[in-house]
Structure 1
């Protein structure tokens, strides 16, 4: 049948499969159908290849299905294209269809199929393909053998990879390098070095791929010393390092915190002219940040010829790691001002930086700004922002993040789910936290610890113990954090015997040696129960030097039980360990004040003044109408202050009618009783509760976060307010949650005898008034309805 001239031109286009456009391919396809020559194999196969090169896979599959009898070459063309563009699922599907059509693969198709199995890490299917290759004799082909080695290495089946390598007809350098690097990535140092040395005996001369594979592999598996030694050996062998080897060894040096070697490698970078390599600059910044060399971090960045986004992200992360949050924030804003296209890594790093260093409101504002900027958060961003929500009890904002993770299908991520549990527990919603825990498809030790820690914070020791046992029944082994949460739960609820038993079983039954945090928990547990001498005895028997947490737990217990002698011992140790921590001086002065030793108290206060120590004023946070409000001592200009004080006075009158008298014993100052009552009115948690009552609907629950311990008077007052106003009130102090309802508290009044910071409260919150700082972030009010979550 004669071919029209126009069709001949289009067929000529088909021969130029790499340059023809997709529209030209469609035209050629149409004319092939119109002229009736579409059944000619050479034309249709070329058209198939053209569609595949343009990644127009649906058209390619339609064309293949239209064949009356597609041949092996047609399948091979499309399978190769699928693998080239990492369409691995399509590759295996087409491979299966080829068998259904009665066609068997050859040595050209099998490497592509094995690569697809490797890309998807489907070990069983890969083994089936391997078995088929053995049966047909295709595994004798060098390309097939090399593909199988890479497949088994990728699936971490190094024994099988080694067998394939040993049986190779012609061993090649690529397969040898891949096998050695595979052992290095697994952390099998002995096997990796053995294979590497045996390769030299086989006549293989290591090249850049071989050396870099070993260095990068050891670094990835945490064998940092071996990574550095391999880098050193490479130089001794006269092989020059390149950008990849340097970028691989610098993280290992950083994790070893070996600044001396790091400086040497930096000098080598300058000498070799690698200072313009963006990856190396980022690795240098990361190395110096791990070595806690803040000036060098900025210096390396400033010496860059052209600012790179990866280096910017490394700079932000490095400054954050070294606690330079304000500097990181300023630099981040500079990047925004320069209209740099910051990506999700940039935003997430900055959010994590703020969240980890107490700038929770800034973290939430960044999260909102990130979305306004059109950058979509990912499964790493959500666990970074959720702690900020929990820290300031921004429940509405936490729910918004929860909804976002559900819409983007992040919630099934184990770290997102664990962070969600922690956030809800910190916001007082322990039931929702448990709901999230129960719905997790997969749990790891972080998930179990988050739930256990949540119960501990809420004083629900029985539930925490139950979770601990369920954790073991599930096959998950408890770790150091698990026992910290368990001991904390026992301490919160006064379960002295149970806590002591778990402390003893750590090393005996689980092989976990007690750390300083566990000793702090057991000292607090015994101290709260009044067993101060026993607590002190445990401290003296510690196999290592107790730190400030341990002595602080003892001093706090001494304050509760007015034990002056042991209190002075603990305070003396704390003054040596933390000479500039005002909290320790305040605790000792509290003990003196409780004993009426005003002169000694004044001496401690004078020491504080002499050292220039001054504690930041206490503050409380409360979320009202999608906004987090922070009440901070220090400003008399609060617009609602008159209303708050009037309401507080009204409640005070009602309390006195009911027989309540202010607990003036919590004011550790030598002043008149009337002045003490006035002082107690200034505590920020009371002000936050009253502010919430004035600005929310009657009967709605209130959630307050306090940066200090709640004092006994505030505890009693809020219990009364919860009954009188018919409200549920949640107050989280530095130690635990207090759930006030119907005149009762979830703590069972177990903690009300510890005015650990009441002296400080008296000297700061009461005499100064309160400033209201309002922050509106994350959810604009008119959009709030879009973020509602029903649990």
Structure 2
């Protein structure tokens, strides 16, 4: 009998040790060893299964955990709770809830686990459902979970209503209700609530200090900080971080020096403050003085050196790090990429043993930014676990290099797309002058049920502006109103541009006036819109208003206002503005600015002066400059200068026949028929190589695109036939239209 009991005891002890070993292996990530041990065990109890399920959960193998759970000979309450917790760790809430519903019995932990998860996910109606079903209404913890959930979603009044209904409250309840006010910026109500608190501790004071810091009221934060009866290290660090974030470095350092007990967070906060203020040496001195450092300390210092371009110092700090950290290594990698040292970045990336997804994405983004999409694609193919950022980065990279076919291919291969994916594709089409494709993608996005954001609308409206698609733009404006994005500055500016380019300048003005906030881009859009529509005088007046409002113009502003001066012949005013641009605002003129000046002088017949401007350029003139000069030469019949402009223009736009037509007409007007013949021969040579023609028309709120190489449809033949008949009828009429 004693022998049998000894054997049972030994076996129990052995199973217990093996169960403990499985748990330890799971925690350390050695899941294969844990599974091997589990498989070899001849005697398994419920705890063994629970330990293995927990090990699977901790290593993200939730499907394996569920398979084991389903095949357990016996389950207890811990088995169910462990499986539910695993689903929640993987953010698979629906499956967790389905399991919760099937539970034969539940304990307090089961209810808390499920309800807390719903509350943290913001699914408060489901959380409240469980709260109402929970039998023990005197359990304070459940009330606290709901109050915290309402506070996190900004539903302060509902949190207060629930708080007032509580049968029992503890200090946590009071602090959670206070945090509802402080974390949602309701500091006046928070202060009133604080003064009426029945229970209060140092956490209450810290919440008030943090709340005032978040709304930018440092004086009130300091007032409360000084009144804390027994401040803890969190009190000191909260105040220190507030001062540091606000750029009050001296005050932050004074407080730091007064701290009797400094933790690593306070050291990190002070170092970060110095780095943000570009006091790199002071930050380095503090870093050296630190008694203990955590990973944040090292990463902060590496980031600081990277930010100021001292990559050798950053690498030195990284090499001193006592343990390998992929976040620190990625920060170093990012530094090489930002400084365009791609060969070193590549070498460093290859040295990183344990790369995470952020590390891979950083390297791919680096190649994409440099236009080296072949390298980016190589890494993309090698990457085992890709996330949405990876796919979106590839789309953006291809768009930036003009490879929209490849961008579309990547997009179509994506199994899951988010709004950023669609925006990347739409903006890519826009950047590459494919506005029709951008609009088509916008429509397709709506069909897929993806809700557009402010970036989507801004891109869609820009496409409408490029195509002068007024009716489609109006439809999009209606969607903007319904979606609540009207006060978004990017969307507002895109609306101004769209209406202006569609010739509805009054609508553009109304949008501008209705915007709660405007910036230099808003003014530029309105000024350029007036200039584009021939309202040069109004464009100049808008510029003057802009300056009076204290908005500093940029080079785009001057391009807009100079175009306005050019269209109505305000040469003196235009030259004066150009002078102000360089002397008052210290803006270096761009090629586009000089093109406006050449166009303005040329339109006014001052061809010699325009040509002198071109000859005096320190930069190479572009097609727009030579095109403006050629057009002016045609208007004023200056064949000599026209020949020079046409010759230069042919280097930039060798396949653009309209330039040859201008020159040919000038030669014909001057009676130079031999030259006309030669120019027309050149035109024939280029016509075979010219880009396909494209035009569009808007009918019943739909855009229809026509390309020169499109196959002729039966409807097209009929249209041509009707056109031919009408032409014959017109030619036989007595009056010519």
TM over 0.5: yes
CA contact (8 A) 1:285 1:318 kept: no
For 2:655 and 2:464, locate their aligned partners in 1 and report how far apart those are by CA, in whole Å: 30
CA contact (8 A) 1:317 1:353 kept: yes
Q: Equivalent residue for 1:264?
A: 344
- Tell whether 2:627 aligns with 1:552: yes
Matched residue of 1:380: which SS?
A: helix
Q: 1:409 to 1:313 in 2, by over 3 A?
A: same
For 2:495 and 2:534, locate their aligned partners in 1 and report how far apart those are by CA, in whole Å: 19
Residue by residue, what CA displacement relative to the aligned partner does 1:757-780 show, whole Å, maximum 9, x if unpaired? xxxxxxxxxxxxxxxxxxxxxxxx
Matched residue of 2:584: which SS?
A: helix
Give the counterpart of 2:143 among 45, 48, 63: 48
Under a length normalisation based on structure 1, what TM-score does the superposition of the two structures give?
0.70
Q: CA deviation at 1:157?
A: 4.8
CA contact (8 A) 1:424 1:432 kept: yes
- Tell whether 2:406 aligns with 1:311: no
CA contact (8 A) 2:148 2:177 kept: no
The correspondence of residues 353-432 of structure 1 with structure 2, limited to 5 A, is 353-432=428-507
For 1:317 and 1:646, locate their aligned partners in 2 and report how far apart those are by CA, in whole Å: 50
For 2:373 and 2:142, locate their aligned partners in 1 and report how far apart those are by CA, in whole Å: 59
Q: CA deviation at 1:214?
A: 4.6
Q: Equivalent residue for 2:41?
A: none
CA contact (8 A) 1:390 1:424 kept: yes
Q: CA deviation at 1:542?
A: 2.4
Q: CA deviation at 1:630?
A: 3.2
Flag the structure with more relative contact order, 1 or 2, with Cα contacts below 8 A and sequence separation at least 6. Answer: 1
For 1:613 and 1:245, locate their aligned partners in 2 and report how far apart those are by CA, in whole Å: 57
Q: CA deviation at 1:395?
A: 1.7
For 2:677 and 2:326, locate their aligned partners in 1 and report how far apart those are by CA, in whole Å: 63
Give the counterpart of 1:88 among 183, 188, 191: 183
5+ residue gaps, structure 2: 1-105, 116-126
Q: Equivalent residue for 1:457?
A: 532
Q: Equivalent residue for 1:210?
A: 297
CA contact (8 A) 1:14 1:20 kept: no
Q: Equivalent residue for 1:777?
A: none
Q: CA deviation at 1:285?
A: 2.1
Q: Equivalent residue for 2:515?
A: 440
Q: 1:24 to 1:519 in 2, by over 3 A?
A: closer
Give the counterpart of 2:241 among 130, 137, 150: 150
Q: Equivalent residue for 1:490?
A: 565
For 2:722 and 2:603, locate their aligned partners in 1 and report how far apart those are by CA, in whole Å: 39
Q: CA deviation at 1:365?
A: 1.2
Give the counterpart of 1:628 among 703, 726, 729: 703
Q: Equivalent residue for 1:709?
A: none
CA contact (8 A) 1:583 1:615 kept: no
Matched residue of 1:410: which SS?
A: coil
Q: Equivalent residue for 2:286?
A: 199
Q: CA deviation at 1:633?
A: 4.2
- Tell whether 2:735 aligns with 1:657: yes
Matched residue of 2:695: which SS?
A: strand
For 1:615 and 1:239, locate their aligned partners in 2 and report how far apart those are by CA, in whole Å: 63
Residue by residue, what CA displacement relative to the aligned partner does 1:716-763 show, whole Å, maximum 9, x if unpaired? xxxxxxxxxxxxxxxxxxxxxxxxxxxxxxxxxxxxxxxxxxxxxxxx
Q: Equivalent residue for 1:123?
A: 216
Q: Equivalent residue for 1:232?
A: 315
For 1:422 and 1:304, locate their aligned partners in 2 and report how far apart those are by CA, in whole Å: 41
Q: 1:596 to 1:329 in 2, by over 3 A?
A: farther
For 1:503 and 1:274, locate their aligned partners in 2 and report how far apart those are by CA, in whole Å: 56
Q: 1:102 to 1:272 in 2, by over 3 A?
A: closer
- Tell whether 2:604 aligns with 1:536: no
CA contact (8 A) 1:582 1:614 kept: no
Q: Equivalent residue for 2:374?
A: 295
Matched residue of 1:629: which SS?
A: strand
Q: 1:650 to 1:132 in 2, by over 3 A?
A: farther
5+ residue gaps, structure 1: 1-11, 33-37, 661-791
Give the counterpart of 1:76 among 154, 172, 175: 175
Residue by residue, what CA displacement relative to the aligned partner does 1:275-294 show, whole Å, maximum 9, x if unpaired? 5x222222222211221212
For 2:333 and 2:686, locate their aligned partners in 1 and report how far apart those are by CA, in whole Å: 42
For 1:356 and 1:290, locate their aligned partners in 2 and report how far apart those are by CA, in whole Å: 15
Matched residue of 2:704: which SS?
A: strand
The correspondence of residues 318-329 of structure 1 with structure 2, limited to 5 A, is 318-329=397-408
For 2:291 and 2:658, locate their aligned partners in 1 and report how far apart those are by CA, in whole Å: 66
- Tell whether 2:548 aligns with 1:469: no
- Tell whether 2:265 aligns with 1:166: no
- Tell whether 2:547 aligns with 1:481: no
Q: 1:300 to 1:229 in 2, by over 3 A?
A: same
Residue by residue, what CA displacement relative to the aligned partner does 1:142-182 show, whole Å, maximum 9, x if unpaired? 11111122334445555544443333223333223233334
CA contact (8 A) 2:547 2:553 kept: yes
CA contact (8 A) 1:325 1:353 kept: yes
Q: CA deviation at 1:377?
A: 0.7
Q: 1:142 to 1:391 in 2, by over 3 A?
A: same
Q: 1:650 to 1:296 in 2, by over 3 A?
A: farther
Q: Equivalent residue for 1:284?
A: 363
CA contact (8 A) 1:282 1:310 kept: yes
Moved more, 457-466 or 511-520: 511-520
For 1:248 and 1:602, locate their aligned partners in 2 and report how far apart those are by CA, in whole Å: 64
CA contact (8 A) 2:657 2:686 kept: no
- Tell whether 2:411 aligns with 1:332: yes
Residue by residue, what CA displacement relative to the aligned partner does 1:403-453 show, whole Å, maximum 9, x if unpaired? 222222111111110011001111221111111011111000000000001
- Tell whether 2:258 aligns with 1:175: no
For 2:585 and 2:732, locate their aligned partners in 1 and report how far apart those are by CA, in whole Å: 56
CA contact (8 A) 1:98 1:104 kept: no
Q: Equivalent residue for 1:345?
A: 420
The correspondence of residues 710-789 of structure 1 with structure 2, limited to 5 A, is none
- Tell whether 2:164 aligns with 1:65: yes
Q: 1:242 to 1:72 in 2, by over 3 A?
A: closer
Q: CA deviation at 1:539?
A: 1.8
The correspondence of residues 510-521 of structure 1 with structure 2, limited to 5 A, is 510-521=585-596
Under a length normalisation based on structure 2, what TM-score does the superposition of the two structures give?
0.75
Q: CA deviation at 1:75?
A: 0.6
- Tell whether 2:331 aligns with 1:244: no
- Tell whether 2:135 aligns with 1:135: no
Q: 1:606 to 1:460 in 2, by over 3 A?
A: same
Matched residue of 2:621: which SS?
A: coil
For 1:490 and 1:301, locate their aligned partners in 2 and report how far apart those are by CA, in whole Å: 51
Moved more, 400-409 or 103-112: 103-112
Q: 1:113 to 1:229 in 2, by over 3 A?
A: farther
Q: CA deviation at 1:536?
A: 0.9
